[in-house]
Structures are given as structure tokens and as C-alpha cells.
Structure 1
Amino acid sequence: MRAYPGRMPDRPDDRPVILLVAAAHADAVEREFRARYDRDYRIEPVTTARAALDVARDLVAARTPIAMVAAERRLPDGGAVELLHQVPAVVSTARRVALVAGDEYADALDEMRAALLRRDFDTFVGIPRGARDEEFHTALTELLSEWGWSVARPTVTATDVVAHPGDRGAAAVRDLLDRLGIPNRTLDPGADEARAVLESAGPGAALPVVRAFNGRVLAGATPSAVAEAMYGGFDSIPDGEIADVVIVGAGPAGLAAAVYAASEGLSTVVLERDAIGGQAGSSSMIRNYLGFPRGISGMRLAQRSRVQAGRFGARFYTGRPATAIEPGPAHEPEHHHVHVDGAQMCARTVVLATGVTYRRLDVPGLDDLVGAGVHYGAATSMAREMADRDVYVVGGGNSAGQAAVHLAKFAGSVTMLVRRESLAETMSDYLVREIAATPTITVRTGTAVADGGGDGRLQWLVLREVGTGELTKAHADGLFCLLGAEPDCGWLPGGLALDGDGFVLTGRDVPRDAWTGGRPPASLETTLRGVFAVGDVRAGSMKRVASASGEGASVLPLVHAHLAWLREQEYREGGPS
């Protein structure tokens, strides 16, 4: 075996493996990987595709995690495309990278792009020709980061959850933490490491007990209590403060609005009832978002956006839903009141970015098993627990497709249940192709869930053929429901116009009898002056992450215009007090 400067000594260890498959450029490839990754990963070099598959099988048999398989385009017994296509049959969670020599790159582009569309691998990169090829390493570290978040157990924890196995409350808390990108671990109450956490919570503390990264210890923890403890309690809202803009909802639309509002010097507050990132934050991989050619997880996108908004000065308050908007009276039009349970926020403008919620199945037997095999949303934190199990995904949109592809990396089988006759009616083409290329995913069109149950957790489903009404019973270990969208607008004031499906009307879609002076509201403005709607909650929106982000950015000129109008009104009434 070759030796390189700085290489760690050979020793048995539990580091995840990066399997390198290279022949003609073996020395350059191994040198590049060892220089950057040898501390945290075990580098295993081989020279042929056959040897790579044999080593991978041995590693799997030994329960050694494989983080990545990187293969040179040309090998003595084949090539990267053929090899990497076979890797998921051995280890479905490893990230797959094709390595292309510089002198072949131009000629290989068409082949590589076609293989990428077939999902034969995750990405392809050029083999570095010299030192400090940061583009090469950016591609690799992004994949390794995504593997570490979605597959590996955290080696460093920021938050501890003490709970008995199978605790549904603890599972909900872990799902929140994973969506926030916070490394966490679950400790059995009898474990030595749990003792200090339980002592901090006090005698007789109700489980689950959570010790957050900021040191706070919560007994009987709920997701909302954990969210509020980590990102700002509503009780800390200063009395009498009037924000330039209060954004209700921290999905892509709300986060984009926060970034642009705060960056332009507006005092900006974001209210979020759940995890920052909204539904998009639970997407395992978004591949068609502008600027991320290798894709980005919803969690990473939300995490980066939150940090970006925070650096500009936006403040986040999480864990409680907004319950009402009280419009400013005619004699005091300069601000509205946004209410949450036990607190209120005054705002000169309000941006509604509350998104949508997944529809419920309305099957009583399954409602009793939510958190015990039945989940609404992608629940990416549950994927590892579905290893080798039979899983069902209900829904035919992009969120359902992303969930199915992610679950297929772990589950023995994934069955998608779709009421329509084709996925292509409601799903992006790249996801339809990816699903078709994943052998462990089966798509059943024209099928719905009629019943289900189990002894303490999900064990079976009854499926109904939509066309014939025929019923069949199937074994099921997990059910993930992503059934389409409905808005959560029941809390909004009566003067705010909604369409027949409950989405917020804006601009020219507002009924003419609600126009002012014969003119409609501004494009994203509701029937309440100074209250805007962006993203999925808005009637007529595209229901895509990119379009929601675009609307969040586009609302800022309208906010500025309303603030200018308020200043003009104040001036006409005698100037500032």
C-alpha cells in the first residue's frame, strides 16, 4: 500500500469509508482524498470495478458505514457509470461520484450528463490537476455533509433527548431538531449519560427531557417548547415596539422576505409556529433550485437562509402560532397588531407567508397511530428507522417524490400511492425519472388508503382501487402522508378576502367591491392595506420553493411603498409627534 505525507497510521477504526476506484490516475486521486479526508474517513483504494463491489460487500457485512464511492470514468473492467449504477444494490446510502480526467472532460460531458439524468450517480467532477482545487472539494464536502446529516449518527451532539424507546413525543422533538439541522441524540433514562440531564430537570421530571444547545433543560418537552427555547421566546418581545415588517411564517417565502427586508435596514421580525423552513425544510433533496447544481436539502436551505437573515438583523420568534391580526383603526393606521398566545407584536406592515399544511387522511385507525409509524410530511428523521422495512408514501407531488427517493435509501421497499393515473400530472420530470430509476420504489396509481392499524404502531393498510373500489390488505411498517396542500387561514381577520379554497386573494384577484377608488390592491397586497401575502398561502401562487422565494423578495418594494405612504400620512396630519 502506498504511503503519503501526513497519512494516519494503519489501524482498525470505526471511521466511515470513502471507497476510491481508480487505475490510470490512482496515485493522484488517492493523494487528493487523503490530503483532505484521511482524518475523518477511512480511505480504501481499489483499481477495478469488481474489486470495488467485493470490498463494498465486505464492508456492509462488517457493518462499516460507506459514506462515498468515487470511481474514475475509465477502469480496466468497465467504467464509473456501470459501477456506480450497481452500488445501490450493495449499499443504497453511499454517495456516488464519477471522476473524469481533465483531458477527457469535454468529450465525456454528454455521457456524464445522460448518466446523471438516469441517476446512475450523484455528481461528476474533474480530477484535480493541481493543488487547491476547491471546486472539486466543494462538490465532495457537500455530498459528505448531506450523507452525515441524513445517514450517519452524529458524533458530536448539540442537544440531548432523554426518553424511553418508542416515545412519540420524543420522536416529534427529534424530527423538529433534524429539520433545524441541530445534531441530537436520544438517551435512555437509565443510561449514565442521561443522569446529569435528569438531575438538571429536577426530581420526577416528565419525559421526554431535552437539554438544548443553549443549556436550557425542558421537562415534558414538546416541539413548540423546544423551538421557543432555542430561537427566542415570545415573552421577550419588547413592550411598545413597532416593527417595520412582521413576517408570519418562516418557509422559503418568509425567509426570503426576511433577508431582503433586514438587508434594506427595516426592523424585521419573523414569527414561526414550527420549525424554521416550513414544509420545504423537511425535503430531503431539492434538485431544481437555482444556483445549487448538485441539489440542496430543505434543511440546509432553511438553515442558511435563517443565518443570513439573522446576520442582517432579523429576529425570530418560534414555537407559537399567530392567532389573529388586528388591523390598525382608522384613527391609528400606522400599525397592525399580530397576536400569538400570550403576546402581541405591533407592525407597520405584515407579510403572510404561512404556507400550507398537508391534508389529513381522515382514517380513524391511522389517526391514532400518528408518530407510531404514521407521519404527516417527509419526516426525514424517521428514514433511518425504516431500514429494511416496507414503507408507503401517499401523494403525487414533488414533496412526496422527494420523500420516496430518500426513504428508498433505507427501506426494503417503498410504495407510492397516487390517486391520479400518472405522476407526470403533478410532479417535476426530474423526480419522475429518479423514481423510475430506483428499483425499490413501486408506484401504484389510482390507489388510496381506506384503512389501517396495528398493535401500538402501524402494521397493516387496506388499499382501495379508485376505479373499481376493490380492497386489498398489505403489510406496512411506515406511512408517510404528503397529500397536497390546504391553507391555514382560519385565524385571519374577516376583512381579508379568500378564494373558494381558502387561499389569500391579492392584487387584481381581489373582488372589485373591495378595491379602493376603483383600483385594485398592489400585486401581492391583500384587502387589508399594509398586509401582504406571499408563497403557497397566496391564491394563484405556483407552489414551488423557487417561486415562493421570489415572491418573498418581490414583496419588499410594496412594503417600502406602504411605509412611504404612512410617512406621508403622518406628515399631512402635522408631522411627527
Structure 2
Amino acid sequence: MATTLPGPAPSIVLCAQEHLDTLRDSFARYEREYDLRTARTASEAEQVAREVVRDGGTVALFVSDSRLPDSHVLAAFHRWRQVVPTARRLIASHWEYFLPDAADLRAGMAKGKYDGYLLMPRGVRDEEFHHAVSELLSDWSSTSANPEVVSVKIVSDDAHGLVLEIRDFLDRMGMPNRVYHPDSDVGRALHEQAGPPAEGEPGYPLVMALNRLPVRPRSVREVAAGIYGAPSEVTLERTVDLCVVGGGPAGLAASVYGASEGLSTVLVEAEAIGGQAGTSSMIRNYLGFPRGISGMRLAQRARNQALRFGTEFFTGCQVERLEPGVGGAPHRLHTSGGELAARAVVIASGVAYRKLRVEPLEHLVGRGVFYGAAMTAAREMEGQDVFVVGGGNSAGQAAVHLARFARSVTIVVRRRGLEETMSSYLIGEIAYNPRITVRPCTEVTDGGGAAHLEWLALTDSRDGSVEQVPAYGLFLLLGAAPHCDWLPESLARDPGGFVLTGRDVPQQCWLDGLPPANLATTVPGVFAVGDIRAGSMKRVAAAAGEGASVVPLVHSYLT
């Protein structure tokens, strides 16, 4: 798992016949940090990309005019993708062709054939154009195994499961990180700073975050505490207006709108900010982001927005019990390191992926078997055969992301297809990608390996046949199980454990014959939003909308 220092600068390949000089001038500002390569035909660009890879480099971005002399531009992208699957792809159409070619080309973007359609700059300082280019390069950099800017250094002598968990947490928090071998210069320097391990303390991994002293964590939460503060710091001497439990899209929206409306707001998150949405490699149908946005970037932008309005964040802190206030008294939240008192509580703790319940595979979790998208693990799948179990959007996004690295990606679903559970744009993107196949009416029933996953048994529900296949990675996105163990019995839930709100609350719990407000629960002053709420849509935009909508209800309750 250890990585080395970066090699050649990543390349940007520009391809155009008539307007190559214009395109080259437009990218002059990137020349200091990227290796700019040019080509006049699709074949020539393919050869350039192969030369870059042969020399130990990689291509970060392909940029093409909308018209090429020897190939349709989408066919060219397809060929280039075979050479460098991780590169981002951009059409910069000359102004003579931009409108005539748009109708034919834009549909291809929805299917993932390329990442952006822009007008070629007509002069200097076309910042709208360069903003889009920077976003694509930033997106590429976030999936690079060797980031240039490193916030967290990790020293490890082996592929510890804990190292993968730590890196996944850091990636979701938007903190670039790299693993170094103990014998490297960085490894020896950090070991010297940390000193010998104490009795009973593991030697590795060794983690240094934001130039603080290196530590030897036993869990991800210890890493989070080292960066964001220990759980014992959670206890506040005052009573806050609003405590939001959960840092997914719903909780982040509630904290942004709550703090911006003048409520003293605290957000408590047990894991990484962003929730399950934070693991999505690319959300293409979120309003206002025509080129899409990764779940991590969306979450971090929302977090920064909430911080600007005054929200206090406690990351890596588990809420263990909610004690409702009586007679207008504040609610008390008992966390893993202290207590919080709040006049109103918004439950946005989301859901967890259901277990596969195949015992041999449970023993391989973290060693080829992963619950969730596990974006960090995707980089470890290069050239391997990978399987994704699940039929929702999260599974589709995971498959598309994994296809940038893996030799093959197989989506395993129990239904007859993806149409009932997945968005149309993702189905189209999956159908277009030659590395992804779908196995309907199929379940994973067995698997194994020595130190790492090696094989799976796939059972066809139509005829009961079983096929054993080689597998290096298994990503399980099996639907939702709510996080509700910490909630009081007085808070009504449906048979699946999801929190009931509004008119879904049983009539015997209504007050004066009236149901609670739309997002209110059976406990006055406690509200539920997002995936944990019974009947929620299970979409990022819907969760963010509920998080924003709950704030007026909180205001009404507090007054």
C-alpha cells in the first residue's frame, strides 16, 4: 500500500486540427504545473497518451475540439479512455461549431462519455472556462494515488485494514493524504519524531496530520479526535438552541439554515462529514452543478458554509442517548465524551448499509470486502476484477468510479434489472462503459480467500445455478438500516425502525386531534430529516431540502 514520491508531472493532452494554436494559448497558464501535449488528430492524441503512460506518467485531462479530422470526438474519447481510464475528458468547441454541434454532443455527457462541453476561449482571462477546467483537474486530483499537496502523512509497514479506514475517512473529509514505507525518508523522520511506541501501543500505522506531532492511533476516531478535538471537548456549559445529529446533506442543510437564521447551532457527527452521500464519487443530478460534483466536495462546501454562519462541529463523536426534556426543559444528548443540552434537536443520523450475512465474507471486511463505496479502496483495485452489490444510485456511482481503476466491474442485483431503483442517467452511463456489466437475478452466496478476497460464489435465483468467479474486491451497497439505537422509546418508529413524523405518526400520539408538524416527531422539540425519516426519498437533493425546511419548524417550536 505504501507509495513513492510523484514522478513526472501529469499531462494535459490538447487535440484539435484547425484551432490547435488557440487551444494551446488558452492552456498556457497550466504549463508550469502540467506537461502540455498537443495533437492534431485522434490517432495522434492516442499515441501521445500511450507515450506518456510508457514513460511512467499519466494524463489528467484530455481536451478536444468538437470536430476532428479522423474520428468523431466521442469515439476518440472512447479510444483515449482505454489508454488512461482515470483522465477527465473535456470538449472545448470552437465558437463556429459550438451551437451546431451542441445538440448532437450534449446527450453524450449524460451517459458519461465525457465530462464537460465548453466554448473555446475567445480571448485572455476567460475565467468561466478556466473555472470549469480547474474543477475537472481538482476532481482528477482527488482520485490520484499520489496527491501533490499532502495534509496527512501515514507511515505503515503493511496493508493494514486500519490504514484503509483512516485514508477513507481523510478522503471523505477532503484531506489529501499519502502512505509512506517506514524505510522511506519521510517514514524515518516521522518515526524519530514520534519516538518508540509505549508498552502495548502498536508500532504502525503512524499518522501526522497538519504538521502536528505523529500519533499511533488504534481507530479512526482517534485520528478524528487528533485533528478536530477529543470527544471530551464536546461538553458545553451553555444550552444551545439547536443540536443537529448527523453530518449528511440533511444535517448540513439544517445547520446552515439554522445558524444563518440566528440559532446557536451544534452539529455532532460520529464519522466523516457528508454521510453516505460523501462517499459518492460523482453526483450528476444535483441542482446547480451541470458537470456534477463529488459527494466529498459537496459536503465540505456545505460544512464551510455552516462554519461561516457560526455552527460548531464535533466530528468523530457518537451520540449514545437522547434524554427528552420535560415541561419545556432542554433535551440532553449523551455523547461518547460528554453531554450537550439543546432546546431543539434535529435527527439526521442517516442509515447504514445492511449486512450481507455471508459469514466467510464478513471475516474479509477491510481485506477486499467493503460496506459502502469505499472510494479510497478503489485505487487499490487497479487491474483487478471487482463486484458491486446493490441497485441504487450509490451502487451505480460506485461502479462508474471503480471502472476507472479495475479491469472489470460487475453489478450484482437481485431484481431483473436496474430500472426500478436507479436513475436513468446512471443506467445510461453504465450501459456505455465497456468495463461494467450487470448480472440480474443474482446473489452473492459465498466467497473466500486467505489474507484477501480471492473468489465469490454467485447464485442465479432463476434456476439456482452457482458460479464461482475470481474477485479481488466486493463493494456492498445493500440498502438502508436506520441508526436508531440511541433514541428514546417515546419517539415513534415504523416496523423498519425509521422515525415517524407528521401525519405518519399514529393518531393516538396526536395532540388535541392534530398531527405533529410535517417533520416533527412524537417528542416535542425533536425533528427528523433525511434518510432516517420514514417515507423519505433517499436522494441528496431531497435530504438537503428537508434539512432547510425543518428550520422554520424549529423556530416555531422555540417561540
TM range (shorter): over 0.9
- The AA in structure 1 aligned to 2:43 is R
**Is the CA contact 1:323–1:491 (under 8 Å) kept in the aligned structure 2?**
yes
Q: For residue 456 of structure 1, give the secondary structure of its aligned residue in structure 2.
A: coil
- The AA in structure 2 aligned to 1:86 is R
2:11 counterpart (17, 37, 48): 17
Measure, in 2, the Cα distance between the counterparts of 1:427 and 1:216.
Answer: 45
Measure, in 2, the Cα distance between the counterparts of 1:341 and 1:30.
Answer: 56
Please list every run of 5 or more consecutive structure 2 residues that lacks an aligned counterpart in the other structure.
1-6
Please list every run of 5 or more consecutive structure 1 residues that lacks an aligned counterpart in the other structure.
1-12, 565-577
In structure 2, the residue matched to 1:305 is: 302
Q: 1:394-448: per-residue Cα shift (whole Å, max 9, x none)?
A: 0000000000000001100001100110101100000000000000101000111
2:86 counterpart (93, 106, 118): 93
In structure 2, the residue matched to 1:111 is: 104
Measure, in 2, the Cα distance between the counterparts of 1:118 and 1:522.
Answer: 40
| Structure possessing the higher radius of gyration over alpha carbons | 1
In structure 1, the residue matched to 2:166 is: 173
What is the aligned-residue RMSD (CA, Å)? 1.3
In structure 2, the residue matched to 1:213 is: 210
Identity of aligned residues (%): 51
1:441 counterpart (433, 436, 442): 436
- The AA in structure 1 aligned to 2:319 is A
Q: CA deviation at 1:559?
A: 0.6
**Is the CA contact 2:66–2:97 (under 8 Å) kept in the aligned structure 1?**
no
Moved over 4 A (4+): none
1:406 counterpart (378, 401, 407): 401
In structure 1, the residue matched to 2:177 is: 184
- The AA in structure 1 aligned to 2:264 is S
In structure 2, the residue matched to 1:362 is: 357
**What are the equivalent positions in structure 2 for 1:69-468 lying under 5 Å apart?**
69-204=62-197, 205-206=201-202, 207-213=204-210, 215-330=212-327, 333-468=328-463
Q: CA deviation at 1:222?
A: 1.4
Measure, in 1, the Cα distance between the counterparts of 2:458 and 2:251.
Answer: 38
**Is the CA contact 1:526–1:533 (under 8 Å) kept in the aligned structure 2?**
yes
Measure, in 1, the Cα distance between the counterparts of 2:153 and 2:481.
Answer: 34
- The AA in structure 2 aligned to 1:100 is S
- The AA in structure 1 aligned to 2:440 is T
Question: What TM-score do the two structures reach when normalised by structure 2?
Answer: 0.96
In structure 2, the residue matched to 1:527 is: 522
- The AA in structure 2 aligned to 1:347 is A
- The AA in structure 2 aligned to 1:367 is E
**Is the CA contact 1:216–1:229 (under 8 Å) kept in the aligned structure 2?**
no
Measure, in 2, the Cα distance between the counterparts of 1:139 and 1:239.
Answer: 42
Measure, in 1, the Cα distance between the counterparts of 2:294 and 2:63.
Answer: 21
**Is the CA contact 1:508–1:520 (under 8 Å) kept in the aligned structure 2?**
yes
Q: CA deviation at 1:174?
A: 0.7
- CA gap of 1:239–1:46, structure 2 versus 1, over 3 A, is closer
- The AA in structure 1 aligned to 2:432 is A
2:490 counterpart (481, 490, 495): 495
Is 1:476 the counterpart of 2:476? The answer is: no
Question: What TM-score do the two structures reach when normalised by structure 1?
Answer: 0.93
Q: CA deviation at 1:482?
A: 0.5
1:514 counterpart (484, 509, 513): 509
Which range moves more in the overlay, 146-155 or 504-513?
146-155
**Is the CA contact 1:209–1:221 (under 8 Å) kept in the aligned structure 2?**
no
- The AA in structure 2 aligned to 1:19 is V
- The AA in structure 2 aligned to 1:21 is C
**Is the CA contact 1:214–1:230 (under 8 Å) kept in the aligned structure 2?**
no
- The AA in structure 1 aligned to 2:225 is E
Is 1:66 the counterpart of 2:59? The answer is: yes
Q: CA deviation at 1:470?
A: 1.6
**Is the CA contact 1:506–1:522 (under 8 Å) kept in the aligned structure 2?**
yes
Which range moves more in the overlay, 405-414 or 483-492?
483-492
Aligned residues: 549
Q: CA deviation at 1:548?
A: 0.2
In structure 2, the residue matched to 1:6 is: none
Measure, in 1, the Cα distance between the counterparts of 2:112 and 2:282.
Answer: 13
Q: CA deviation at 1:240?
A: 2.6
Is 1:31 the counterpart of 2:25? The answer is: yes
Measure, in 1, the Cα distance between the counterparts of 2:463 and 2:74.
Answer: 43
Measure, in 1, the Cα distance between the counterparts of 2:37 and 2:495.
Answer: 60
**Is the CA contact 1:232–1:316 (under 8 Å) kept in the aligned structure 2?**
no
Q: For residue 269 of structure 1, give the secondary structure of its aligned residue in structure 2.
A: strand
- The AA in structure 1 aligned to 2:390 is G
Measure, in 2, the Cα distance between the counterparts of 1:217 and 1:243.
Answer: 34
